[in-house]
Amino acid sequence: MQSVLYSIKMRAAQGGAHEQGGKHISGAERIVSSQELFPALEQLVQRAQQHERGNPDFINISLALISERDIKKISSLPVYSIMNREKAKNHNVAREVLGRTGIKPEVVEVALHYLSHGLAEEGRNMRGAMVIDINSGQRLEPDLSRGVRVTGMDYAPEIKPALAEQLDQFGINNAHAREALCLASKVASVEGIVAELCWSDDPSYTTGYVAAAQMGYIRLEHMKQLGSEQGGRVFFIDPGIARAEKVIAELENQPCLINRLGPVYPPISWDDFIRQVLRKE
């Protein structure tokens, strides 16, 4: 018999609900069994209340029952960590990796500019990600101030200990890294997605990544100034492979569980990454 699971979504804002212009504070996604439901709800409420971006006065938690048969099962992306603390160099790494996925340099610059200056109107941050056409550089999200919010993803409970152990070896076993890898793995698995670029808008978390199905999840330790609230996510899509509406619908609605772990590699210098992984002379 197929079991039933719960998809939980949490979003918190300050100064009213998101749809009334409140500032986005925190959001999270879980897919859990009925035994895990109450502890997961408690964790999510605590998380909303204890976020460094501020105290929310709006917390929305929604639950949907999903059948296991409707869940897409995927593997997590291979994880690489580039050893470098220089922001400008890390931006260049992102340029190089995105270039290799076929995205034009001018389109990459558009994305870097948005992430560095705020994605929504008046330089405000978004709750979701920006979606960019790799050919024209145009944004494709139906709501430009909200962006596209990827929902319905988690790790299968049986792989969580192994994931924690692998990330622990390299000192990167934190909620930010685990959740970002989960999201990036789901995003990369969607047909039509070419790559993703992200760094957090949390002021104390300066790490970001660039990810693509063909390359993996490439962690970049320092992508912005410490203390900055500028950050966000960009999904690059090729509308020649899949229509934007279809890609966005899958990102937003398809429940997805990671039930297999990709490798987590030891930190590597950019030069060695180019030689050993990208195999460029």
Any contact of residue 202 with ligand AMP (CB under 6 A)? yes
Tell me the residue nearest to ligand AMP as measured from the CB: 200
Any contact of residue 264 with ligand AMP (CB under 6 A)? no
Q: Is the CB of 67 or the CB of 174 nearer to ligand AMP?
A: 174
Q: Is the CB of 150 or the CB of 220 nearer to ligand AMP?
A: 150
Evaluated on CA atoms 218, 223, 226, 229, the torsion sign reads negative
Any contact of residue 128 with ligand AMP (CB under 6 A)? yes
Any contact of residue 27 with ligand AMP (CB under 6 A)? yes
DSSP letters for the chain: -PPEEEEEEEEEEESS-GGGTPEEEEEEEEEE-TTTHHHHHHHHHHHHHT-TT---SEEEEEEEEEEGGG-EEEEPPPEEEE----HHHHHHHHHHHHHHTT--HHHHHHHHHHHHH-SSGGG---SSBEEEETTT--B--SSTTT-BPP-SEEE-GGGHHHHHHHHHHTT--SHHHHHHHHHHHHHHTSTTEEEEEEE--STT---EEEEETTTEEEEES--S-TT----EEEEEE-TTTS-HHHHHHHHHH--EEEEEPPPBPPPB-HHHIIIIII---
Q: Is the CB of 35 or the CB of 50 nearer to ligand AMP?
A: 50
CA-to-CA dists, residue 30 to 36, 53, 61, 184, angstroms: 10, 21, 11, 15
Q: Is the CB of 150 or the CB of 261 nearer to ligand AMP?
A: 150
Any contact of residue 125 with ligand AMP (CB under 6 A)? yes
Sort residue 34 into left (φ over 0), alpha (ψ -120 to 50) or beta.
alpha
Residue from 76, 90, 189, 200 in contact with ligand AMP (CB under 6 A)? 200
Any contact of residue 231 with ligand AMP (CB under 6 A)? yes
Any contact of residue 150 with ligand AMP (CB under 6 A)? yes
Any contact of residue 255 with ligand AMP (CB under 6 A)? no
Any contact of residue 232 with ligand AMP (CB under 6 A)? yes
Any contact of residue 149 with ligand AMP (CB under 6 A)? yes
Any contact of residue 222 with ligand AMP (CB under 6 A)? no
Residue from 31, 93, 126, 258 in contact with ligand AMP (CB under 6 A)? 126
Q: Is the CB of 15 or the CB of 272 nearer to ligand AMP?
A: 15
Residues that contact ligand AMP, how many (by CB under 6 A): 18
Task: With contacts defined by CB under 6 A, name the span among 40-48, 59-67, 119-127, 240-248 that binds ligand AMP.
Answer: 119-127
Any contact of residue 31 with ligand AMP (CB under 6 A)? no
- What does the binding site for ligand AMP look like in residue numbers (CB under 6 A)? 27, 125-129, 147, 149-150, 180, 183, 198, 200-202, 231-233
